[in-house]
Amino acid sequence: MEQNIIQTDIHRAVEAIKVAILQTRRKVMIQANKDSLALNYSIGGYISCRKQTSHWGDKVLDAISSQLQQELPGLRGFTKSNLKKMCVFYEGWKEFFGIIFFKGNNSVTSNKISPVSADNDEITIGQLITDQFDKATLEAFLTVQFTHHYEILRRSESINERLFYIRRVASEFWSVDKLKYNIREQLYLKEGTMPNNFAVTL
């Protein structure tokens, strides 16, 4: 009898600890993704502005990527190709999260909630916040990984279509391949105008 009670206690303890671990891991992953998106948006904004004001091209991005690899050995995700993707990410969402542009060496943001500010080549990373999305949509946006965001921006034509796929990725945990497939199959056109419960789900 006593042994059964001990086994029951152990089982309860394991379950309680397991749930706490999994919840904490999820929170850490979500926060890491939010921080990563904010970093990519800020770098994309910085490069996008420099492309306009200093006429940066592929050679400059190649040099930046190479030097980053030398100075931070083992660094991943900062190839020339990824730096370009960060520009696409910034340019695709700047109307919602804020625009940055340079006057001389100083930066000016056109939106007081912009997470990007750069002064004398210093990049400041803030939170991605906007009053243009409801809470559920913003949470979905911040949950979706950068690679998914890039594919959505590359393949979607309207803001409604983008947000449709963002919500679906966030609520259904689509892989990048599944996302590409659903965009190719024009899932938005098939389901995008139908009533949904995304706000409830998220």
126-179: pLDDT as tens digits: 788 888 899 999 999 999 999 999 999 999 989 999 999 999 999 999 999 999
28-53: pLDDT as tens digits: 998 999 999 999 999 999 899 888 88
169-186 burial by CB neighbour count: b if 16+ within 10 A, else e? Answer: bbbeebeeeebbebbeee
Mean pLDDT of 112-136: 69
Instruction: Provide the pLDDT for residue 100.
Output: 60
Residue 57 has pLDDT above 60, yes or no: yes
DSSP 24-55: HHHHHHHHHHHHHHHHHHHHHHHHHHHHHHS-
| Predicted structure pTM score | 0.79
Cβ neighbours around 199 below 10 Å, total: 12
